[in-house]
Structure 1
C-alpha cells in the first residue's frame, strides 16, 4: 500500500542501489589500476627483486692469463673470497695479454649490462696504460671500487752517479735504461732519471729481470729496474760482485716487506729532495708518484662503481678477513708483497688517480720525449753467448 501511495520512493531506492554498485565497482577497478601502476613503477625504479641465486652467477674476470701474477693470485684468492662471502665458487674468466688491458675492457663492457654480476682482478699495468693514453683503453679505472690490493715496489740498480756533476753536464751524456717498452712498467724509472736531469734513454726489448740483468752486465745499458721479490737478494749479490749498486726504490713507503738482512737504498722522493732541492718541476714529481703506485700494483680486486652499498660492505668485510689469513700473508711476505684492505686499500689505490693538472703534465712530458727517444734509440747489439743463456 505504501509503494502504491509513494511510487517515487521505490524508484529512488532502486537508483540508490544501482549507484552504490557502480561506485563500488569503479572504486575497486581504480584500486586495481593504481596498484598495477605502482607495481610497474617499482619495477622500473628498483628492478627485479634479488633472489638467493643471484650471487651464484658472480664472475671473476682475471685481467691476464693463468700464467700472469693476477692469474696466479686469482686461483689462490678466489676460494677464500667465496668462502668468506658464503657463496659458491667464482666463475673464473681468464683473458689474454700480460698488461691487463683486454680484461679491463671486458669488465667495462660487462658493467654496461643491467644483469651483470662480475668483479675484476687487474694489475696496475692496466692503470698505467690508461694514464699514458694507450689507444686500446676503453675503460675508466677511476670508476672502480677497490676492496683488496697487493703492492710490490721496484728497485733501480746500475752504475750511475745520481749527483749531476759539472763533468756530466759538459759531457751531455745520456742514461741508458733497460725497458720492455718506453711506456711500460719501467716508466717511473725513466721519469725519475729525467727529474734528476740525467737524460734517460730507454732501450727496449728487456721485459724480464734476467734479460735486463744480462743487458746491464753486458754493457748495453746503465740502469735496470728489478722487482722487490724473493729473488732480489741473490740478484743484488750477483750484480754487486760486478760493481753495480742499488740506486733508489720506486716507492713512497720507506718500509718494504723485504728480508730484514737486506740493505735497500732510499726511496726516490728522498733522492730527489737531496739532489734537486730548488729546481724540481711542479707536477712531474706527483706524476712519478702516480706511475710508481700503478706499476707497484700487482693485483687489485675491484667492483663496479654502481655496486649497491650493502654488497660493497659485504665484499670489503670478506676482503678484510682474507687479507689477515695466515696462508695469504705467508705467500705475500715470501714474494715481497703488501696486502691491503679497508681504508689502507682505498688510500693506496687513490694514489694511482692523479689530479687533472698532473695527468696533463705527464701526457705533455711523454709527448716531448717519445719522439726524441725514438729518434735516438741506440742500435740493438747481441748479448755475449754466456750472458744470453
Structure 2
C-alpha cells in the first residue's frame, strides 16, 4: 500500500541570473562555491497529513524561506502521512538526494519513536543536518459539556470516562496522554488517526471528549471552535525557559500549564520519575519540535546558504508578526545551535526508556517493541 501524497506548490517570485562570463573570471575556490547554487525547486517532505500542526508550520515556513533565499526557489510541500510520520520519514531517509533539493520537516512524532528504539524506524537523525528548528506549545481542550473552566472540567473528567483520538502510542500525543494519567483523568486513547487534524475532526463530531493541538493548529482550527462555544481550553503544555523549567506559554498566558496542575497536587514534585519522563519528552518534542533538515552529505555551501537565509528571519519584523499570528510567539533556533540542542534532546537513558515501555503496557495494554 502506498502512502497518500498531497502536494502544494509555492511559486517563485524571481529567478537567479547566472552570468557565465563573470563566473569564469572568479578564482577557482569561488567558482566551486558558486557551483553549489540553490536548486530552482526545493521539495519539502512533510510526513503528516494536511491540516495538522507540522503541516501548518511547514507551509508557513516555506513561504518565508522562499523569500529569504536570494534565488526565491519554488518550494513543493509533499505530504506523505502514515505510521505517525514514520512511513514518510523512512522513505525520505532511503530515497532523498543529497544535492540540496530535498528537505524533511519533522516533529515529535518522528523523534519519539527514534528515542524509543522503535524497530519500524529506519532513519537516523545523526545522518541529517538541521537548518532551522522551532519550539512550539500546545493546548488541551474539552467538550463544553464538561464545564466552563479548568477545575470543573478536571473534576468531571476524573469521574466520567471519555475518548482521546491519537495517532500512535509513541507519537506526538504521548506526553499529553501521560499528562492525563498523572492528573488522574479517565481518558481512554483511540489510536489510528492519520494526523492531529483527523483527531480534531473526531472531537468536532463528538466522538472524543478531549483533544490536543499544537499552537499553530490551535490558532488555525481550534480558536474558532472556542469562540463559537464548541470547545473549552483546559491547559497548555507550557514552554521551557533558560533554566529548563516549564513555565506558562506566552501564547496562552491565562491558561495553566500541566506542570502547574501536577505540582499543585499533594505529594508531587519535579523529582518524581513520571514527571521527569514527561519533562524529557516535552524537551525533545516541544521545546525543539519542528525541524527542517537536509541530508548530512548536502554540499556545505548549500547548507550555509540555507542557514544564512533562516538566520535572517528572526530579525525581520514582518516575519515575527506573521509568526505570532500563525505559529505562536516562539523564537526559531538556527544552524549549529539547533544541531547541538537536537543532539542533546534526542538522548534518552535506558532506564527512562524502560519506564515509558512499562507504563504504556501496564496502563493501556500497549506493547512497545524495541530493537
Residue 130 (str. 1) matches residue 114 (str. 2): yes
Number of aligned pairs?
309
Q: Does the aligned pair in 1 maintain the 2:314–2:332 contact within 8 Å?
A: yes
Please give the residue correspondences for 1:69-218 in structure 2 after superposition, counting only pairs within 5 Å. 70=54, 74=58, 77-78=61-62, 80-81=64-65, 84-87=68-71, 89=73, 92=76, 94-97=78-81, 99-110=84-95, 116-124=99-107, 125-131=109-115, 134-141=118-125, 143-158=127-142, 159=146, 175-183=161-169, 184-198=171-185, 200-204=187-191, 207-215=198-206
TM-score of the aligned structures, taking structure 1 as reference length: 0.62
Using the alignment, how far apart are the partners of 1:89 and 1:173 within structure 2? 54
Residue 353 (str. 1) matches residue 346 (str. 2): yes
- Tell me what 1:26 maps to: none
Using the alignment, how far apart are the partners of 1:233 and 1:162 within structure 2? 20
Q: Deviations over 1:295-321 (max 9, x none)?
A: 546742123345676654443322110
Using the alignment, how far apart are the partners of 1:157 and 1:351 within structure 2? 31
Using the alignment, how far apart are the partners of 1:54 and 1:349 within structure 2? 26
Unaligned runs of 5+ in 1: 1-48, 374-389
Residue 303 (str. 1) matches residue 297 (str. 2): no
Residue 54 (str. 1) matches residue 36 (str. 2): yes
Residue 247 (str. 1) matches residue 234 (str. 2): yes
Q: Secondary structure at the match of 2:112?
A: helix
RCO higher in structure (CA 8 A, sep ≥6): 2
Q: For the structure 1 residues 117 and 312, does the alpha-carbon distance in structure 2 shift closer, same or farther, using more than 3 Å as the test?
A: closer
Q: Which structure's residues are more often helix, by fraction? A: 1
Q: 276-285 or 141-150, which moves further after superposition?
A: 276-285
- Tell me what 1:367 maps to: 361
Structure (1 or 2) with the larger CA radius of gyration: 1
Q: Does the aligned pair in 1 maintain the 2:100–2:302 contact within 8 Å?
A: no
Q: Deviations over 1:189-218 (max 9, x none)?
A: 210122234454214577332431443xx7
Q: Secondary structure at the match of 1:328?
A: helix
Q: RMSD over aligned Cα, in angstroms?
A: 4.3
Q: For the structure 1 residues 290 and 214, does the alpha-carbon distance in structure 2 shift closer, same or farther, using more than 3 Å as the test?
A: farther
Residue 341 (str. 1) matches residue 333 (str. 2): yes
Q: For the structure 1 residues 136 and 264, does the alpha-carbon distance in structure 2 shift closer, same or farther, using more than 3 Å as the test?
A: farther
- Tell me what 1:271 maps to: 261
Unaligned runs of 5+ in 2: 1-30, 241-246
Q: Deviations over 1:10-63 (max 9, x none)?
A: xxxxxxxxxxxxxxxxxxxxxxxxxxxxxxxxxxxxxxx946333344844322
Q: Does the aligned pair in 1 maintain the 2:165–2:199 contact within 8 Å?
A: no
